[in-house]
């Protein structure tokens, strides 16, 4: 899984006001109350079997991956192609039939 890099910047007051206005006007997604938040429980506590299966799948995926060193300029060119660049490197290497 590719980890997207987040770019954070301060939200202007006008933008925040617009965001809050849209949140308040959405009848299908009301903002949680303090009482609702106080009753919230962690995902793994509510769905332990599902949480464990997710952890297991992630561990298996990570175990199947191997770390390799590539030249910086090669990585930069692939990374510049956008999300999914790691898989594109895999495709190129597989096509080379090394």
pLDDT at 3 over 80: no
Task: Output phi, psi for 26, to 5 deg.
Answer: -90, 105
pLDDT in tens, 20-60: 899 889 989 888 899 999 999 999 999 999 999 999 999 99
How far apart CA 93 and CA 79 sit, in angstroms, is 16
Average pLDDT over residues 76-82: 93
Mean of pLDDT over the chain: 88
Percent of the chain with pLDDT over 90: 63
CB atoms within 10 A of CB 51: 14
Q: What is the pTM of this model?
A: 0.44
Report percent pLDDT > 70 for the chain.
Answer: 93
């Amino acid at each position: 899984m590719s980890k997207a890099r987040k770019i954070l910047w301060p939200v202007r007051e006008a933008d925040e006001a617009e965001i809050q206005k849209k949140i308040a006007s959405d009848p299908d997604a009301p903002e949680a109350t303090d009482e609702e938040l106080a009753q919230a429980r962690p995902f793994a506590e509510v769905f332990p079997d599902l949480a464990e299966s997710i952890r297991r799948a992630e561990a298996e995926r990570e175990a199947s991956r191997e770390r390799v060193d590539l030249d910086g300029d090669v990585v930069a060119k692939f990374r510049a192609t956008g999300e999914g660049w790691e898989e594109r490197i895999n495709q190129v290497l597989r096509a080379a039939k090394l």
